[in-house]
Amino acid sequence: MSVPAIEIVSLHKRFGRLEVLRGIDLAVAQGEVVCVIGPSGSGKSTLLRCVNRLEEPTSGRILIEGEDICDPDCDLDRVRTRIGMVFQQFNLFPHLDVLGNLTVAQRRVLRRSRADAEAKARRVLERVGLLDKIDEYPARLSGGQQQRVAIARALAMDPDMMLFDEATSALDPELVGEVLAVMRDLAEEGMTMMVVTHEMGFAERVADRVVFMDDGVVVEQGPPARVLRHPTHERTRRFLTLVEER
C-alpha cells in the first residue's frame, strides 16, 4: 500500500483564543484530487496553509509522503520544493517579466542554470497556453493570465503535489474558465491536488473526493456526486442550497 501524498492527523490551529481547526484527520492519496468546500471562516484556507506550514499548527501532525513536517528535525525548505502552491492573489513579482517570474526560484532554490531554468519555463508556459506572453510584465496580463503564470511558476519547480487556495475567487467570472481548464488538465495528467474552492461544478467534474468543512471540522466527505447531490449531513445540505441560490 503506497504512502499517502498528504496525511493530516489530529490537526488543531488556534489564533489566540480562537480555535480555527479542531482536530482534522484527512489523507490525500498519490494522484488524488481532493476539493475542500465550505462556508467562509470554516478553516479551509488555514488547513491548506498548514499543509506546507505557511501557518504553524498548534498541535497534530502533517506528513508529506511519509515525512512529518512538524518534526523539528525536518528540512522544511527541502520538503516545500515538492509542494506547489497557488494563492487567491497571484503574488507575481511586478518588476520581473513572465520569464523572470518563472526562473528566479528555479535558479535560487533548485540551483538550475539559466539555460535549464529558461528551457523549463518555456515548457510550462506552453503547457498553460501562455508561451507568447513570456516577455510581458504582470501588469500587462489579465487576471486569468496572471493566475495561469502563477500555476506555471509552481509547475516549473517540478512539485509532487499542488495546493490551490481559492485560485479563481479573485477573477472576473469570464476569466475563471481558463484557469479551471489548466487545473483540470493537471488533474487528468495525474497530479496530486488539494483544492480549496467555491466552484462546485469544477469539484463535481474533476475531484475524486469532496470534503465539506464547517466550524473547523470535516463534516462529511466522499465522492463528488454523493456529497454534492445527496449529502448526508444537514449542514452540508444547507450550505449547498445557499450556493445554488446565489
At 13-60, the pLDDT tens digits run: 999 999 999 999 999 999 999 999 999 999 999 999 999 999 999 999
If you average pLDDT over residues 188-201, what whole number do you get? 94
Q: Give me the pLDDT at residue 171, please.
A: 85
Amino acid at 201: G
Residue 1: the pLDDT is 64
Please provide the size of the chain in residues: 246
Each residue of 111-141: pLDDT tens digit?
999 999 999 999 999 999 999 999 999 999 9
Q: Is the pLDDT of residue 195 over 90?
A: yes
- Cell numbers for 118: 529558461
Q: Cell 529558461 appears where?
A: 118
In this prediction the pTM is 0.94
196 within 8 A of 48, measured Cβ to Cβ: yes
* Cell reading at 85: 502552491
Give the span between the Cα atoms of 216 and 21, in whole angstroms: 4
Residue 101 has pLDDT above 80, yes or no: yes
